[in-house]
């Protein structure tokens, strides 16, 4: 019983001693994040959308028929969507 109490006391003391050290490390981590903010932020969802839109554009460009003008309209919409994605990434830099 005394041995268990001694082990638990030592563990509690070790945790109590390490808390101030852990608290001091947090501002440094925040500082690093702020400094890293100057780098371009990654947006995997938008980058993925751009990839899929480019693939859709290639598929539409190589389609065999005009489809009554709807293929041309779809290409126009894909181009507009690509431009909106580009603008979204551009606006995030500001």
Q: How far is CA 40 from the centre of its chain?
A: 11
Which has the closest alpha carbon to 57: 71, 69, 44?
71
Distances (CA, A) of 19 to 12, 14, 25, 46, 89: 11, 9, 10, 40, 40
State the 10-residue block means of pLDDT for the chain, 94 residues long: 60 58 52 54 91 96 89 96 95 76
Q: How far apart are CA 60 and CA 82, in angstroms?
A: 14
pLDDT for the residue numbered 36: 52
Say what the pLDDT of residue 42 is.
Answer: 86
Helix axes 44-61, 70-92, angle to 10 degrees: 160
For the whole model, what pTM was predicted?
0.55
> For residue 64, what pLDDT is reported?
85
For residue 71, what are the contacts with CB-CB under 8 A and spacing of at least 6?
A: 60, 63, 65
What pLDDT shows up at residue 65? 83
């Amino acid at each position: 019983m005394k041995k268990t109490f001694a082990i638990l006391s030592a563990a509690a003391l070790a945790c109590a001693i390490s808390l101030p050290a852990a608290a001091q490390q947090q501002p440094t981590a925040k500082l690093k994040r702020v400094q890293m903010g100057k780098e371009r932020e990654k947006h995997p969802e938008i980058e993925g959308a751009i990839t899929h839109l480019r693939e859709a554009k290639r598929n539409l460009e190589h389609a065999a028929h005009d489809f009554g003008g709807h293929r041309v309209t779809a290409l126009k919409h894909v181009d507009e969507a690509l431009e909106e994605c580009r603008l979204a990434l551009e606006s995030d830099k500001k």
